[in-house]
Amino acid sequence: MAVGTRPRSRRPVQTAQPEVTYLSGAAATSLRPLLEAPRRPARVLAAFPLAVYLEVRTETEPRVLALVSGEATRLPNAVVLTGALEGFAPGDDAWVGDGVVEAGGRAVRVRRWWDPAPPLGSVSRTALAGSLPVLHDICVSSPRRPGLESGGASALLSAGCHRGSLVDAITAAEQLMGLGPGLTPSGDDMLAGLLVTLRSVGTAAGVGRAVWLADWLAAAVTFDARTRTTPISATLLHCAARGEAGLETLAVLRGLTGRQPLEPAAHRLLRLGHTSGADLAWGIRTGVSAVLGLGERDAE
Q: What does the chain come to in residues?
A: 300
Statement to judge: residues 107 and 132 lie in one domain? no
* pLDDT one digit per residue (tens) for the chain, 300 residues: 444 445 555 555 444 445 778 889 999 999 999 999 999 999 999 999 899 999 998 887 779 999 999 888 899 999 999 777 888 899 999 999 999 999 988 899 999 999 999 999 999 999 999 999 999 999 999 999 999 887 899 999 999 999 999 999 999 999 999 998 878 999 999 999 999 999 999 999 999 999 999 999 999 999 989 899 999 999 999 999 999 999 999 999 999 999 999 999 999 999 999 999 999 999 999 999 999 999 987 666
Q: What confidence score (pLDDT) does residue 87 get?
A: 81
pLDDT value at position 275?
94
Looking at the domain assignment, is residue 197 inside a domain?
yes
Q: How many separate domains does the chain show?
A: 2
Classify strands 21-28 and 106-114 as parallel, antiparallel or unpaired: parallel
Task: Please check whether residues 81 and 192 belong to one and the same domain.
Answer: no
Q: Is residue 3 assigned to a domain?
A: no
Do 169 and 287 share a structural domain?
A: yes
Spatial contact of 237 and 191, defined as CB atoms under 8 Å apart: yes
135 φ/ψ sector (left φ>0, alpha ψ -120 to 50, else beta): alpha
**Residue 286 included in any domain:** yes
The predicted pLDDT at position 20 comes to 77
114, 139, 172: which is the final residue of a domain?
Answer: 114
- Residue 189 and residue 88 share a domain: no
Q: Do 88 and 218 belong to one domain? A: no
Query: Before 146, cis peptide (omega within 30)?
Result: no
- Per the domain annotation, does 4 fall within a domain? no
Do both 34 and 140 map to the same domain? no
pLDDT, position 10: 55
Q: Domain check: are 148 and 212 in the same one?
A: yes
Does 7 map to a domain? no
The reply to whether 137 and 198 lie within a common domain is yes
The model's pTM is 0.90
Closest to 104 measured CA to CA, from 197, 19, 189:
19
Question: Measured in whole angstroms, how far is the alpha carbon of residue 92 from the centre of its chain?
Answer: 23
- Same domain? For 292 and 166 the reply is yes
Domain endpoint, select from 82, 114, 146: 114
Whether residue 266 is contained in a domain is answered as: yes
Question: Which of 88, 114, 140 is the C-terminal boundary of a domain?
Answer: 114
- Residues 104, 129: one domain? no
**Residues 95 and 172 reside in one and the same domain:** no
- Asked whether residue 73 falls in the same domain as residue 213, the answer is no
> What pLDDT, on the 0 to 100 scale, is given for residue 17?
47
d(CA 215, CA 224): 15
On whether residue 11 sits in a domain, the answer given is no
- 98 Cβ contact partners less than 8 Å away, ≥ 6 residues apart: 35, 36, 37, 38, 39
Residue 294: the pLDDT is 95
Range of the domain at 205: 125-299
Establish if 53 belongs to a structural domain: yes
